[in-house]
Chain A
Amino acid sequence: MKSVEPALAEDTALEAKPSAGGNPVWLVLKERRSALLGLFIVAFFVLLALVGPTLAPYSPTVPSGPVYAPPSAQHLLGTDGSGVDVLSEMMYGGRTSLIVGFAAALVAMIVGGGIGLTAGYAGGGTDVALMRITDYFLVIPDLVLMIVVATVFGPSLSHVILVIGLLLWTTTARIVRAQVKSVRERVYVRRARSLGASHRRIVFQHILPQVAPLLIATTVLTIAYAIFDESALAFLGVGVPGVSWGTMLEHAFERTAMTEGAWWAFVPPGLAIGLVVVGCYLMGQAIEDALNPRLRVAHLSIHSWRIRRRPTADLEPVEGTA
């Protein structure tokens, strides 16, 4: 009897996918320019929020100059309607906006991920019940509920985080559930079950790692929504007390910065919110794209295969082929 396909078969990489070894999220960031740009933007603002307050030239609450002073050497971004330095406000305010954004997204990830995982893995009645609840949350008009809750419970950092987080988990839950349902039916999961592996083991060893990249992608997208929601709440006056990009916009709006022509009072916070949202969106989208090859439609592109150009042969008379 002949021995079979031993060490020789090392040359079999023909069918191997190019690189599935490392962390897919990292690979995506490495390969996609847009994702890298997103990461750069978000990292910049995170860094600003971390070290900004120590660098801020003035207090973010106490006036340090005249009202609506245009950008100058003393006030690089001018002052706002109360004479507070805009740059200092930006640096302090970023902290609040980003903390709310990240923390609310984390809440959404834990709640949505947990519910999605439970529903998808348990299936049956549990699945139906949990998804029905998710549907109810999905149809509630977000902003209205946020305003109501924030007004009733009073505005505080933790309340705002919870309110936003508890409204944004639905998408995560649905996406995670769908993925878990498909992974659960994979043969290697069935195999582990037939071996007698515990549910805990199956969920944490086999299912969660497979769902994690998707969970990260949706969470990154959720950060964008959360930051946006925080600004909206602040703009409506029911946000986190203290300085945030949202309250800066609210103040600028209230104190007629627009009619005063004091663009420096509202452009920087508006731009910062926009940039962070776009940054998160770029990253999340890129990760999602990479995870879902069906979104890539190379084969349907209008370009077709090419015929090899023959440098000289075509010019010479073609010899008759027998």
Chain B
Amino acid sequence: MSLLAVEDLHVWFDLPHGGRLHAVQGVDFGVDAGERLGLVGESGCGKTTALLALMGLLPPSAEVDGRVVVDGQEILRGGEDSMRPRRWTDVAMIFQGAMNAFNPVKTVGAQIVEPMEFHGIASGSEAKTRAGELLNLVGIPPAAAERYPHEFSGGMRQRAAIAMALACDPKVLLADEPTTALDVMVQAQILQLLVSLTHDLGLAVILVTHDLPLVTQVCDRAVVMYAGRIAEAGPVDTLFHDPRHPYTRLLFEATPDLTGDVEVVSIPGAPPRLDRELVGCPFEPRCDRAFDPCKVTTPALIPVAANHRAACHLNDDRAAVS
């Protein structure tokens, strides 16, 4: 059993002008202690929504279904009441742009102390000491706790945001595009930090990004999402060298590489709208290998090898042939 397991997760949003948007359509994945899982896909594929569902932080217009199991306990079906005590203490999140979300008039240390006091983890001088330790852990001198966010550089603020997420000693850390606004060098520093946190604390990390190379360099396994579903999931090495879903292959082909030898090609078209029922494979209109069944039946996510799942009719075919 994984440390964190998501089973058949669905999220719907009520649209302001009527109708519903099925943002996450039956997603399952798990992550173990000390493991780093990547969640990749184009914008609007439901990756951030899935994370927010794990945190129980969706807006009132959202309806959720499925199971989220942390350490053997189901926490989703009890709604906000069962989520609240788990939030930050079991599952914590670094939001996109978290580095810009500090209160400018409070010291960084005071803001790291806040969630601890909130959850009764520590208070007073104990909490202060712990805030210093956390800053030290993310590579900031503890004395900097007395300083204000504007005195920090972008990279330091992002480190502090990670320290804040770690304040209540979570088991799982969700990171939503933690390096998008950062320079490559600072990005490398932050990624190195995330890796060392999984080693040192046994933390499970889920990294959400649209940047595939980040995932292949940092994560052990990855889940490729498309149109609210999982297109393919498996070890990053397999995904790159033996992709079993055309979307995965095309995403890699669209990403420039330093070697500059292979032609980069964009994927034609755009993801489908999720406010209507989809017929067939959601990727069919953009796929370069689509054939008849793709128009009619939605491919199921099936194992194609050990630890490797894909939702593509090409695999049915192979199975039939072999």
Asked whether the complex places CB atoms of A and B closer than 8 A, the reply is yes
Q: Does A73 contact B (CB under 8 A)?
A: no
Report Cα–Cα, A303/B268, bound state, in Å: 40
**Are A2 and B265 touching (Cβ within 8 A)?**
yes
Residues of A within 8 A of B77 (CB): 307
A319 in the interface (beta carbon within 8 A) = no
Asked if B270 and A8 make an inter-chain contact with CB atoms under 8 angstroms apart, the answer reads yes
Binds B, one of A12-20, A34-42, A169-177: A12-20
Residues from chain B with Cβ under 8 Å of A14 in the complex: 44, 270-274
- With A304-B56, A304-B79 as known contacts, state yes or no: A9 contacts B270, CB within 8 Å: yes
Digit string of A1-44 for contact with B (CB within 8 Å is 1, else 0)?
11111101101111100110000000000000000000000000
Give the interface SS of chain B, mostly helix, strand, loop or mixed: loop
Q: Within the complex, what minimum Cβ distance (angstroms) separates A119 from chain B?
A: 27
With both beta carbons as reference points, the residue of chain B lying nearest to A12 in the complex is identified as: B270
0/1 string, B261-298, CB within 8 A of A gives 1:
00101111111111000000000011000000000000
Whole-angstrom CA separation of A51 from B90 in the bound complex: 70
Q: Tell me which of A14, A299, A301, A308 has the highest count of chain B C-beta atoms within 10 A of its own C-beta.
A: A14
Q: B10 at the A/B interface (Cβ < 8 Å)?
A: yes
Residue of chain A at shortest CB distance from B271: A14
Contact of A306 among B16, B63, B266 (CB under 8 A): B63
| A8 to B286 CA separation, bound complex (whole angstroms) | 8
Residues in B with CB closer than 8 Å to A304 are 56, 58, 60, 79-80
Distance A217 CA – B17 CA, assembled complex (angstroms) = 24
Cβ of B59 within 8 Å of any chain A Cβ, yes or no, is: yes
The number of chain A residues with a CB under 8 A from chain B is 26
Which residues on the A side are within 8 Å of B273 (C-beta)?
A: 11, 13-14
Number of A-B contacts (CB under 8 A): 82
Chain A residue contacts of B17, Cβ below 8 A: 18-19
Q: Which residues of B sit under 8 angstroms from A13, Cβ to Cβ?
A: 273
Contact B56 A2 (CB under 8 A): no
**Is B271 a contact of A6 with CB atoms below 8 Å?**
no
| B263 cross-chain contacts in A, Cβ below 8 A | 1
**Residue of B with least CB distance to A322:** B1
Determine if B79 and A9 form an interchain contact, defined as CB atoms under 8 angstroms apart.
no
Of the candidates A3, A8, A19, A307, which one forms a contact with B65 in the assembled complex, judged by CB atoms under 8 Å apart? Answer: A307
A308 touches B10 (CB 8 A): yes
B133 proximal to A (CB < 8 A): no
Q: Is A298 part of the contact surface with B, judged by Cβ < 8 Å?
A: yes
Chain B contacts for A5, CB-based, 8 A: 266-270
Which bucket holds chain B's interface residue count?
Answer: 35 or more
Q: When the two chains form the complex, which single residue of A1, A19, A305, A310 contacts B56, counting CB atoms closer than 8 Å?
A: A305
Q: Determine the residue in chain B with the shortest Cβ distance to A7.
A: B269
B64 and A306 contacting across the interface, CB-CB below 8 Å: yes
| Closest A residue to B17 using CB positions | A18
Q: Which residues of B contact A12 (CB under 8 A)?
A: 270-271
Contact A4-B64, Cβ < 8 Å, known A14-B271, A18-B17, A307-B79: no
Chain A proximity of B179: nearest CB distance (Å): 22
* Residue A321 lies at the interface, judged by CB distance under 8 Å to chain B: yes
A19 to B16, CA, bound (A): 11
Contact pick for B266, options A2, A303, A308, CB 8 Å: A2
Tell me if A8 and B62 are in contact (CB < 8 A): no
Residues from 44 to 67 in B contacting A, C-beta threshold 8 Å: 44, 53, 56, 58-65, 67
How far does the alpha carbon of A238 sit from the alpha carbon of B156 in the complex, in Å?
64
Which residues of chain B are near A1, meaning CB under 8 Å? 263, 265
Q: Find the residue from B12, B44, B269 having the highest chain A CB count within 10 A.
A: B269
Q: Flag if A11 contacts B65 (CB, 8 Å).
A: no
Kindly state the separation between the CA atoms of A303 and B12 in the bound complex, as whole angstroms: 16
B7 at the interface (CB under 8 A from A): yes
How far in angstroms is the closest Cβ of chain A from B108?
24
Looking at the assembled complex, report how far the CB atom of B282 sits from the nearest CB atom of chain A, in whole angstroms: 11
Nearest-CB residue, chain A, relative to B270: A12
Closest B residue, CB atoms, query A307: B79
Contact residues in A for B12 (Cβ distance below 8 Å): 308
Q: Bound state CA distance, A19 and B61, in angstroms?
A: 19
- Distance in Å: Cβ of A179 to nearest Cβ of chain B: 23
Name B268's contact: one of A4, A307, A310 (CB within 8 Å): A4
Q: Which residues of A contact B80 (CB under 8 A)?
A: 304-305
Contact B58 A11 (CB under 8 A): no
Are A18 and B16 in contact, with the CB atoms below 8 A? Answer: yes
Of B59, B64, B267, which one neighbours A307 at CB under 8 angstroms? B64
Shortest Cβ gap from B27 to chain A (Å):
15
- CB-contacts of A291-322 with B (<8 A): 298-299, 301, 303-308, 310, 321
* Closest residue of B by beta carbon distance from A19: B17
| B6 → chain A closest CB, angstroms | 12
Residues of B within 8 A of A2 (CB): 265-266, 268
Q: How far is the CB of A28 from chain B (nearest CB, A)?
A: 13
A3–B268 CB distance below 8 A: yes
**In the complex, B189 has a CB within 8 A of chain A:** no
A321-B7 in contact (CB<8A): yes
The 9 closest A-B pairs by CB, nearest first: A8-B269, A308-B65, A12-B270, A305-B58, A305-B62, A303-B60, A304-B80, A9-B270, A306-B63
Add 15 more A-B contacts to A2-B268, A5-B270, A304-B60 (CB < 8 A). A1-B265, A2-B266, A5-B269, A9-B268, A11-B270, A12-B271, A14-B270, A14-B271, A15-B44, A18-B16, A301-B60, A303-B60, A307-B77, A308-B10, A321-B67
- 28 contacts across the A-B interface (CB closer than 8 A): A2-B265, A2-B268, A5-B267, A5-B270, A8-B268, A12-B270, A12-B271, A14-B271, A14-B273, A15-B43, A15-B44, A18-B15, A298-B60, A299-B59, A303-B60, A304-B56, A305-B56, A305-B58, A305-B59, A305-B60, A306-B79, A307-B63, A307-B64, A308-B10, A308-B12, A308-B63, A310-B65, A321-B67
Contacts from A to B (Cβ < 8 Å): 1-6, 8-9, 11-15, 18-19, 298-299, 301, 303-308, 310, 321
